[in-house]
Structure 1
Amino acid sequence: MKQGMDRVTGRLIGGIPYLWQRLSDVIATPVGSLVGRRDFGSRLFELLDRNVDSEFHMDAFVRLAEAINNKANGLDDFRLLTMRVEVVASNHIELFLNGLLYEQGKASAVELERILLK
């Protein structure tokens, strides 16, 4: 199981909370914006000024799947199955994800709620 430091408390976390934190970091970071890690991040920020319609949902799913499959993002223990987009406010979107988390060779179903895209 992957473990890391909680960005708020500084304590060691793992499992679903750490996966949520890793995913939110990847989603919030535009590809190419980190000097030392140009491959880290996602292209979801490119969608922020678009209308939320069926085309937006498809493009968001594709960009998220690309980010998850990018080895530089360190999300090789997660497989995305479904995604739901909810508009919270102008220019604020929340993602609700369903997928599989692989820990020690076993897959478990996970739901990740309220990952903010702004």
Structure 2
Amino acid sequence: MTRKKEEQILNDAIPPDTKEGADSASEPTLLAREVTASPAENPLMGPRIYVGPNLPGGRLLQSTVFRGGVPAYLQPLLDEQPDIAALIVPVDELSEVQAKIVQTGTPEYVAYQAILKGGIANGI
């Protein structure tokens, strides 16, 4: 499958009410990794992985890897739920953070639990 075809499939998967404008040729795709800041300005740059729970509606799935930093289209979600950003960690810290997620009282555990409770209550 070509990259253009993959982009079209992903674009078609975006619900119409979330698309901006009527012209689909000019809108960004999920494969376009738009980043709003440099690595020094944005701590979410670089290869990172989301270790939190799956969010309803497929908004963000556990183990999603961001190779070029966190894409701009996730910014509203991160603003809504700051705990999500706490669980987007450098790939090389994955095993350490996963161990902390199950350890009661750690910031990672608290963030994970808050996302679980917030996601269910707020329909994230």
Q: What TM-score, normalized to structure 1?
A: 0.28
Higher strand share: 1
Q: Which is richer in helix?
A: 2
Higher relative contact order (CA 8 A, sep 6+): 2
- Structure having the higher Rg: 2
